[in-house]
Structure 1
Amino acid sequence: MSQSFNILKQPKPFYLIFFIEMWERFGYYGLQALLSVYLVRQLGMEDSDAFVTFGAFSALVFGLVAVGGYVGDNIFGTRRTIVLGALVMMTGYLLMAFSGHNVTIVYLALGTIAVGNGLFKANPSSLLAKCYEEGDGRLDGAFTLYYMAINIGSFFSISLVPYIAEYFGWSVGFMVSAIGLLVAVSNYFFMRHWVEDYGSEPDFRPVPWKTRGVLYLCVIAACGGSAWLLEHVQLANILLALISTGALVMFFREIMMASGGERRKMIVVLILMLQAVVFFVMYMQMPTSLNFFAINNVETHILGFTINPVTYQSLNPFWIMVASPVLAWFYNRNESGGGGLSMPTKFALGMLFTAVSFLVLPLGALWASEMGVVAPGWLVLSYFFQAIGELLISGLGLAMVAQLVPERLHGFIMGVWFLTSSTASVIAGHVAGFTAVGTGEAATPLATLPVYSQFFTNMGLISLAVGLIMLFSAHRLDRMISD
């Protein structure tokens, strides 16, 4: 029985990192829950344009993470970069709240949020990895619980913020995100002594004021540049392609410089990251096509209550919170003795669960009402399977990097891991555009249902094919890791 509770026996720094990540994600997912709907309803964009803009924003959010990981590893220190990123993001949310729905200020706000997230995102997980000795059996469980922190923050944010925006206005909804970042920074300063012995090399030496000044100016320029790119989406996509290519070249260079088992493990990491791109294309349908499916075709009257359909997105973090402790316990019990499923097998199973999450929706469409409205239970089931898939891929992606990549490359490769999300976000925005149905009289539930049903069928079949290929390849990848 005591083994069941070992997942909670983590070092003190874990809990600090857990709570700062939870509050930072509370802020981010509050914005994400509203953004695509805000672009359509308040700024008057077409669905397809809103999805592409959302994809470009998400691409910047994840694409800049590699830069933030480098800054944390080599220039400013992991701990300092966490605080800097949180403060920059909070500034972006405040700009969003006080934009007055001026599209230029909205783009500046989104650019600032993207830069802040880029600075922040890789560094808490990098710091967490440094808190464990090599071979520590608690690592998988720690990263699974860490992933639960993300989803606790996102669950409460997605559940509350749409209602706040509905009853008090968009600006108040965005202000809640700023408050989440304020709590995150305050939490860090009260508990920072717990991590004073951990961090990257720059954390343990003073940073010259000249270096600080150049860094701050670069951050300001990056915020303005990101805003400009969001107004010119095609250029943003070209920049992302250049960043991705550069990161991939650097990754290949590191693989070629390595040898033996280290090289084989890094090749496995690269293969799993390519699979993750496909997964994240599916995952990013939640705030776009799945969100608008809920708005257009899912019943919102439940037990006498009217549900804001945007809050259906909170089903994902809900299931993550339910399943995370169970999976963490399972990993601890089965892997502490050297057994358990391998990382490639977990990734393959994650894709298969993702496939099921999409394929249940066309099945639900067969049982839709005469008006083309689907019962919410089908969406609940879809989000359940997607959450399990997410835990097996996205939830363990950081642990994969920590286990298979040399420690000297943790920050950079974790940044590359998030870059997979960036690449997928651009693809996902364009893919979601296939479901764009507009907001006119033609956009009735009966008209939109077959569009969504065919789209989700295609997404499910693609996920199924990738999952089966990875499942049949898992044994070979296992040998590359263990040899």
Structure 2
Amino acid sequence: MQTPSQPRAIYYIVAIQIWEYFSFYGMRALLILYLTHQLGFDDSHAIGLFSAYASLVYVTPILGGWIADRLLGNRVAVIAGALLMTLGHIVLGLESDSTMSLYLALAIIICGYGLFKSNISCLLGELYDANDSRRDGGFSLLYAAGNVGSIAAPIVCGLAAQWYGWHVGFALAGIGMFIGLMVFLSGHRHFRNTRGVNKPALQARRFVLPTWGWLLVMLCLAPVFFTLLLERNWAGYLLAAVCLIAAQMVARIMIASPQHRRALWQIVWLMLAGTLFWVLAQQGGSSISLFIDHFVDRRWLNVEVPTALFQSVNAVAVMAAGVILAWLVRPGGSSALRVWLKFAFGLTLMGAGFMLLALNAHQSQLHGHASMSMMVAGLALMGFAELFIDPVAMAQITRLNMPGVTGVLTGIYMLATGAVANWLAGMVAQQTTEAQISETAVAAYGHFFAQMGEWTLGCVTVILLIIGVRRVLGNSALRMAASED
């Protein structure tokens, strides 16, 4: 059976996604190592700043989604976000060890990410009708192909940082984002049927200035605001306030759209399960990266492999697994998995990965160093798991086809699985530094990894039990209906 061809515009979306992944994951691979090696932060301080930045990056997509839905349209929002991210990475690439310069660069990236991240998925969703069978395959393609950038980024930026300095590695991330933007702009003719700028709304005058004027003021002040949050460690307060607003927005959408309520509740539960998954997955940039840096024997063929390069492993796994997932969701395929079974499978793989890391930490206690091959295997399992989480949830959100709220719902999903998950991931990762007070460091990591694996596999058991109970109850109801007939 032939797979239906995808819309032509998807290839330009995939192209900018590749380079966005390159810029984001290139910088992410270097950040915590830069904080500990170059700026002299201790592990606890570095984890705190890393998680604050990572959480704020995912706070802004909810506002970015609102701006795109009401004012700019998804395509223009993506372009503006890409420009800001390019600028932020270039500022980070300036030769300076000032913490204020670091905070400002991170703040600009946070703003750009807000306009880009949720709206690139919504732009892809605009290419399909509500019942288009190509939708799931398109989102899987976007997710898997984007990881081409995240495979190359830690290798290119990591080696550049090791050979030429940290700031060269950061600057390369910005150059990558700019290349992606140029490619995306070259395909403008393929986006003629997508929503454009809402000119009447932008020109409407509110409190002296037109709306576009207030938008410019906000774009100028936002980096200053986020710089202060990072400098004073106030990110948690903003996150709590935004979560309350997001919960209220979801409640209002449910009240206003009773016909979509059942689907909206499913998305809420997907958000909660996705948050659990990403609390675990985001350990890769903090606690797992520090474990590799401190304890893994990284010598291969008499060459020491930079710690940053390990960030490519789960992206390679995502690429390899993408082929399998595309087969599972092909139109008419008899082995297509249900949404919650996909989530359960993804969480199972994540739990298995952590149990393997716990075993590796135990081996380190016995032999004096952790195995690089076992580390790679654990990270690969975690990367494989990702394809069973986000593409599934994002496809469900855009399938709702609710004009004016799709971008907001996507932003709220990013808030839960990105901002909240990263904040909680930082809090959880602090266990590895606190436990070192009374235990050896490697034992603390081993205990931590084992706990993560046990909790995850426990959650999988709960999900499977709920699926089983619902299936039994559903079959009972069908039998009763049949007997009455």
TM-score, with structure 2 as normaliser: 0.91
Q: Does 1:399 align with 2:395?
A: yes
Once the two structures are superposed, residues 380-407 of structure 1 have per-residue CA deviations (whole angstroms, 9 ceiling, x without a partner) of 2212221222111123221121234634
User: SS of the residue aligned with 1:136?
Assistant: coil
- Where does 1:226-241 land on structure 2 (aligned, <5 Å)? 226-233=226-233, 235-241=234-240
Kept after mapping to 2: 8 A contact 1:152/1:321:
yes
Higher mean C-alpha deviation, range 381-390 or range 202-211: 202-211
- Partner amino acid for 2:463? M
Deviation at 1:374, TM superposition (A): 1.6
> Distance in 1 between the 2:447 and 2:122 partners?
40
> Distance in 2 between the 1:203 and 1:156 partners?
37
Return 5+ residue gaps in structure 2 as ranges.
204-208, 479-485
Deviation at 1:265, TM superposition (A): 1.1
The answer for the alignment partner of 1:78 in structure 2 is 74
> Distance in 1 between the 2:190 and 2:424 partners?
40
- Where does 1:16-415 land on structure 2 (aligned, <5 Å)? 16-98=12-94, 100-199=96-195, 202=197, 207-208=202-203, 210-233=210-233, 235-260=234-259, 262-332=260-330, 335-336=331-332, 340-368=336-364, 370-404=366-400, 406-415=402-411
> Distance in 1 between the 2:427 and 2:68 partners?
32
User: SS of the residue aligned with 1:100?
Assistant: coil
The answer for the alignment partner of 1:429 in structure 2 is 426
User: SS of the residue aligned with 2:387?
Assistant: helix
Between the two proteins, what is the percent identity of the paired residues?
29
Deviation at 1:475, TM superposition (A): 5.6
- Partner amino acid for 1:304? N
Deviation at 1:360, TM superposition (A): 1.1
User: SS of the residue aligned with 1:363?
Assistant: helix
Kept after mapping to 2: 8 A contact 1:47/1:436:
yes
> Distance in 2 between the 1:309 and 1:204 partners?
48
Deviation at 1:330, TM superposition (A): 2.0
The answer for the alignment partner of 1:465 in structure 2 is 458
> Distance in 2 between the 1:382 and 1:425 partners?
20
* CA 1:381–1:453: 2 relative to 1, 3 Å: same
Kept after mapping to 2: 8 A contact 1:65/1:121:
yes
Number of equivalenced pairs: 467
* CA 1:437–1:166: 2 relative to 1, 3 Å: farther
> Distance in 1 between the 2:320 and 2:333 partners?
25
> Distance in 2 between the 1:276 and 1:376 partners?
29
- Partner amino acid for 1:202? V
* CA 1:314–1:437: 2 relative to 1, 3 Å: farther
Deviation at 1:326, TM superposition (A): 2.0
* CA 1:250–1:448: 2 relative to 1, 3 Å: same
> Distance in 2 between the 1:41 and 1:390 partners?
30
> Distance in 2 between the 1:255 and 1:156 partners?
42
Higher mean C-alpha deviation, range 180-189 or range 451-460: 180-189
* CA 1:10–1:476: 2 relative to 1, 3 Å: farther
Kept after mapping to 2: 8 A contact 1:141/1:329:
no
Return 5+ residue gaps in structure 1 as ranges.
none
Once the two structures are superposed, residues 130-181 of structure 1 have per-residue CA deviations (whole angstroms, 9 ceiling, x without a partner) of 1011111111111111001321111100111111011111111111011011
Deviation at 1:250, TM superposition (A): 0.8
Deviation at 1:210, TM superposition (A): 3.5
Deviation at 1:456, TM superposition (A): 0.2
TM-score, with structure 1 as normaliser: 0.91
Deviation at 1:101, TM superposition (A): 1.2
Kept after mapping to 2: 8 A contact 1:78/1:203:
no
User: SS of the residue aligned with 2:441?
Assistant: helix
Moved segments of 4+, more than 6 Å: 476-480
- Higher-Rg structure is 2
Kept after mapping to 1: 8 A contact 2:70/2:198:
no
